[in-house]
Amino acid sequence: MIKRDCESFVEAGNSYLKTAQRGHRRESVFTGTMLYPILCLSIEKYLMGLFCYHNAIPQHNTLARMAREAADFVDIPMDLIEAIQSMDGLLDLCDPAAPLQMGLSDAQLQSMIAVGEKIRDLVSAHMPCAA
């Protein structure tokens, strides 16, 4: 894959993460239900940047499974993978009967933002073009 493509994934991850960070401070505009998919998109983009950098394609579509696969390229701490897995379990988009709204506490949102920041830092340290 082209280096520029890998960088564009990371740039998109940065953009989504910044939106979530700013949105978290603007509770009158952004709800947890709105911030959750934005945070998930940021993590997905960072992981896709790693896959692109290693000229690979993920074989799974959940964030936790993608993170486990990306661990073949970069050392991802197990507690970070577990935190990503807990995010996967909050909203089941594959079940048409599952509710699409959820209540997230401020602590949960802060924790998810911290996960996004850790993935960002991990990717930036691993990919010189992303720093």
Domain boundaries, the chain: 3-93+100-130
- Give pLDDT tens digits along the chain (131 positions): 566 788 999 999 999 999 999 988 777 677 777 888 899 999 999 999 999 999 999 998 889 999 999 999 999 999 999 999 988 877 655 666 666 556 778 888 899 999 999 999 999 999 877 65
Homologous superfamily in CATH for domain 3-93+100-130: Nucleotidyltransferases  domain 2 (1.20.120.330)
Please identify which residue in the block is written with the tokens 């390229």. Answer: 73
Neighbours of 117 (CB within 10 A): 14
